[in-house]
Amino acid sequence: MARVVVDVMLKPEILDPQGQAVQRALPRLGFQGISDVRQGKRFELEVDGPVDEAALARIHELAETFLANTVIEDFVVKVEDAEGSEKVAGAAK
Amino acid sequence: MARVVVDVMLKPEILDPQGQAVQRALPRLGFQGISDVRQGKRFELEVDGPVDEAALARIHELAETFLANTVIEDFVVKVEDAEGSEKVAGAAK
């Protein structure tokens, strides 16, 4: 079983009030030196069978039609390795 | 300017109704072969200055005290490289 991650973030030109709220709170809480925060969604999909090109194409379609609103959001499909590091497998910006 | 990512996910033993809703909808929408979906939050932090050990320690503390509810959530701190791939720099499980 392999894990594929879909990260969905608001497009850079779309206002992100959640992220802004976090960013403005940081200095007040004693954390300096963070100039911007954006908040988005992360989906972890457990895929049966191999994560080959066909599976990734299917997941890309799934992300495009169902997980992200591509009018206002970008998404990135990533494959997670055993250590938890992630490699980009596809994106829509 | 470097980007550090904090992924916040519900702990595995905590029920994730959002993820379940997505997972149950998939076969109905024509996507087979996804056995589990978990939904969480992703924070992208733009860090002024170098992302050294001290900066990562500060971000770890920030994530622990402010971005994640560590009673029910795990978080992972990752450093993003130029291609958008991510390397784990710290985690709390």
Please compute the mean of the pLDDT values over residues A76-84 and round it to a whole number. 85
Asked if the model's pLDDT at residue A88 lies above 90, the reply is: no
Q: Return the CATH number of the domain spanning residue range A2-92.
A: 3.30.1280.10
Residues A7-21: tens digit of each pLDDT: 999 999 999 999 999
Of the partner residues B31, B67, B86, the one whose CB lies closest to the CB of residue A62: B31
Nearest residue to B83 via CA among A58, A89, A72: A89
Instruction: Give me the half-sphere count of Cα atoms (radius 13 Å) on the Cβ side of residue B90.
Output: 18
Dihedral of alpha carbons B49, B83, A41, B53, sign: negative
For each of chain B's 93 residues, which pLDDT tens digit applies? 789 999 999 999 999 999 999 999 999 988 999 999 999 999 999 999 889 999 999 999 999 999 999 999 999 999 988 777 788 888 887
Residues A20-79: tens digit of each pLDDT: 999 999 999 889 999 999 999 999 999 998 899 999 999 999 999 999 999 999 999 999
Whether B3 contacts chain A with CB within 8 A? no
Residue A83 is predicted with a pLDDT of 75
Whether A46 contacts chain B with CB within 8 A? yes
The tokens of A92 are what?
């829509």
Residue B30 is predicted with a pLDDT of 87
Contact A26 B86 (CB under 8 A): no
Provide the β-strand partners of residue B71.
none
Domain boundaries, chain A: 2-92
